[in-house]
Amino acid sequence: MAKKLLYGFLVGLAAAAIAAGCRYAGWLAPPENMFWQWRVRAFAARTPPSERIQVILLDQNSLDWGRTENRWSWPWPREVYAPIFSFCARGGAKAVAFDWVFTEPSVYQVADDEALGAAFKSVPSSVAAMFLGRTSGDATAWPPDVPRNGPALRGLDDWLARGGAGEAVMPRASFPIPEVAAGAALLADVSGHADDDGIHRRTALFRVFDGAPVPSLGLAAYLAADPGADLRIEPGLLTVGPHRVPIDAAGRAILRYCGAGGRRPAFSAASIIQSELRLREGGTPTVDPAVFKDAYVFFGSSAEGLLDLRPTPASKVLPGVEIHATALDNLLSDRFLRDAPEGAALAATLLFGLLGGVLAALGRKARHSVLAFALCLPLPIAVGFAAYARGYWWPVAAGETAALLALIGAVVVNYATEGRQKAFIKSAFRHYLGPAVIDQIIADPARLRLGGEKRELTLFFSDIEKFSSFAEKLDPAALTSLLNEYLSDMTDIILEEGGYLDKYIGDAIVAYWNAPLSQPDHAIRACRAVLRCRRRLAEKREAYRRRAGVELKARIGIHTGEVTVGNMGSRDRFNYTVLGDAANLASRLEGANKAFGTYAMISEATWSRTGGKFAGRELGRLRVVGRETPVRVYEIMGFAGEALPAFVPDCERALALCAAGAWRDALAIFERHPEDPVCAVYAARCTAFASDPSRQWDGVWSLTEK
């Protein structure tokens, strides 16, 4: 045990070191992003977005409406957007943020630009968009005709000096035309900086251009509504009024997406424009402006042709404006996520590696290794989900890699030490013992001693009908081939149902369930095997007839009872088998099929343990050779719910009449079904008793042959 623990510890330590190295090298980024997507989508679906934020989308329906109803070609006249500002102001919106950069003058002349500028100015807390980049943008300095109305960010110079300048400072920019810029309360960056794989998992709440901080669209909407809010930055933290945002070294915050797919309910731009025009005419709007009361309103596009759809971990495509709205949602609710502490993440990676290595090293059997995998592999994922709920991005891939490598490594070490010995034992005994017995011998060599135990088993005996008669007609090669194929088919089914194959006796098969391994449903397994064996034989009967010229049918007997099971024989040679009256009865029931013309007879002890999962009929009570106590027996005919032949209910009704001594009435029913051997047997008995009223019958069939 001590040696196993040492091996497991060393393997786990090595696995953790490899996983940590892969993480710092960036090799685990793809699986980590996959695990992150699982968490984001699971939590977003059950996190409702804030109703304080509303979104208006220029969707495909709006474009179609503009083209068909108003004959607006794209781009629309800019004066068209004025009703949107008016509607938001009418509803009492806190701020209106446009995710659209108007970098070029309108094709409809300067008056169109002035109309848009006046629309921005009509809402004192309006936000216009600009674009910051490293290689795109025609401006390298702030244009003199665009006002510098951005917020003051305390601590910015110190933060930039600590290393933030590398990511936060943008050298180029695209500005809106002066008419628009002059009308807006703030200009906001809408560039949207994705991760290296193009997925938007984080957001930069501000960037710096020409020495001035430029807020993102989400932060700008907040500041436009509350221009006096205090802004302060320090390593790892951005303070916005009463809100504290955890940021990384580049000034980015991890987004917590809300709503299924990261989406929130949105209004179509066409419906807002129509509602405002109807209100001006004294009509009823399709959208109540009160929904915008004290709300931050974002305007953006979702039509595919307008090219503002972004991939996120919550959805393959999401309108870019939704990302800005999510950022403001996180700010208002203080729901931004933060990176897990590096020391804690490293310690967890070590712990997962050690746990996987030790558990796998302690395993003695394959199922122990499977259990170790089942316990350890989901654990890092579960920790990641739990950490997400508490507001942390916990690195799952490193812990998962450490656990997996440790588990595999420990299993390899186990095989290199104990596995070879076990493989030798299995190879030596596999021709003589069942795999389950070999496993128990490996686990406990004392089982090689002679002896047994009392145990309730379900026993299976089968025999081919009239085998001796047609065996004489076949040459040895054909007979051997036929018998081998038949026995293989039947054995496969027995083993698939978890049965233990005791022996072959010529064409006969002896098997049982609930030993050597416990099986609480042993009776059900055995009955299922009976039906499957009969149906497999029926499927191949015609093939057997064409091949050997014989019709192969097999009788099966099943009984459940207590027997002695274990290793029996001499001190030098023994077999794992059963002894007891229950085994003898199962064998007798196989032969008792001949008395009724049936092929699958089971005792009441077995039938009562199947829980109604099978369909069949009672055959009566039997007293078999060598046993005084009668036993009630049944014919199993199918699975529960399957249709049975029409003679089954008639046969059951007639049996009840026999029990009451109404022989003639029972005979009339049995004679309706001459095709059923059971009915024919009972019809003969009814005839005898009906013709001689003095004869008495206790309802027990006493068999005189095995």
Dihedral over Cα of 701, 704, 705, 706: its sign: positive
Sole residue written with tokens 């029409």: 646
Name, in order, each residue with C-beta under 8 angstroms of 307's C-beta and a sequence gap of 6 or more. Answer: none
**pLDDT recorded at residue 427:** 59
> Strands 53-58 and 266-268: what pairing?
parallel
The more confident residue out of 419 and 336 is 336
Average pLDDT over residues 287-297: 96
Helices (H), 123-264: 156-159, 165-168, 178-183, 217-225
**pLDDT recorded at residue 448:** 47
Give the per-residue SS3 of 383-407: HHHHHHHCCEECCHHHHHHHHHHHH
Using 50, 70 and 90 to split pLDDT, how confident is the model at 3? confident
**pLDDT recorded at residue 432:** 40
Name, in order, each residue with C-beta under 8 angstroms of 379's C-beta and a sequence gap of 6 or more. Answer: 352, 355, 399, 403
**pLDDT recorded at residue 441:** 58
The two tokens of residue 132 are: 């910051």
Using 50, 70 and 90 to split pLDDT, how confident is the model at 149? confident
- Rounded to whole angstroms, the Cα distance separating 697 from 659 reads 9
Tell me, what DSSP letter sits at residue 47? S
**pLDDT recorded at residue 7:** 74
Q: Which run of H or E residues covers position 122? A: helix 110-122
- Rounded to whole angstroms, the Cα distance separating 44 from 329 reads 13
Percentage of residues of the chain with pLDDT beyond 90: 71
- Residue 326: is its pLDDT beyond 80? yes
**pLDDT recorded at residue 419:** 59
State pLDDT tens for residues 197-218.
999 999 999 999 999 999 999 9
Asked if residue 468 lies in contact with residue 476, where contact means CB atoms within 8 angstroms, the answer is no
**pLDDT recorded at residue 428:** 44
Domains identified in the chain and CATH numbers: 2-23+340-429 (no CATH), 47-339 (no CATH), 447-644 (3.30.70.1230), 645-706 (no CATH)
- Rounded to whole angstroms, the Cα distance separating 643 from 646 reads 9
State pLDDT tens for residues 539-577.
999 988 888 777 899 999 999 999 998 878 776 677 778
Among 30, 39, 17, CA closest to 386: 39
Among 549, 651, 536, CA closest to 598: 651
- Rounded to whole angstroms, the Cα distance separating 246 from 603 reads 72
| E strand spans, 92-168 | 95-98, 126-133
Using 50, 70 and 90 to split pLDDT, how confident is the model at 362? confident
CB atoms within 10 A of CB 664: 12
State pLDDT tens for residues 24-74.
999 999 999 999 999 999 999 999 999 999 999 999 999 999 999 999 988
| E strand spans, 435-490 | 451-464
Q: Which run of H or E residues covers position 680? A: helix 677-691
CA 163 from chain centre, in angstroms, equals 43
- Rounded to whole angstroms, the Cα distance separating 678 from 465 reads 17
* Mean pLDDT estimate for the chain: 90
- Its pTM surpasses 0.85: no
State pLDDT tens for residues 637-658.
999 999 999 899 999 999 999 8
List the beta bridge partners of residue 463: 555
Average pLDDT over residues 334-352: 94
End-to-end CA distance of the chain: 55
- Residue 511: is its pLDDT beyond 70? yes
- Residue 363: is its pLDDT beyond 80? no
Using 50, 70 and 90 to split pLDDT, how confident is the model at 425? low
State pLDDT tens for residues 173-199.
999 999 999 999 999 999 988 898 999
At residue 496, what is the residue type?
A: E
Average pLDDT over residues 601-618: 96
Helices (H), 576-706: 581-596, 604-607, 647-659, 663-670, 677-691
Average pLDDT over residues 566-589: 84
Name, in order, each residue with C-beta under 8 angstroms of 543's C-beta and a sequence gap of 6 or more. Answer: none
Q: Compute φ and ψ for 571, nearest 5 degrees.
A: -65, -25
At residue 308, what is the residue type?
A: D
Asked if residue 406 lies in contact with residue 63, where contact means CB atoms within 8 angstroms, the answer is no
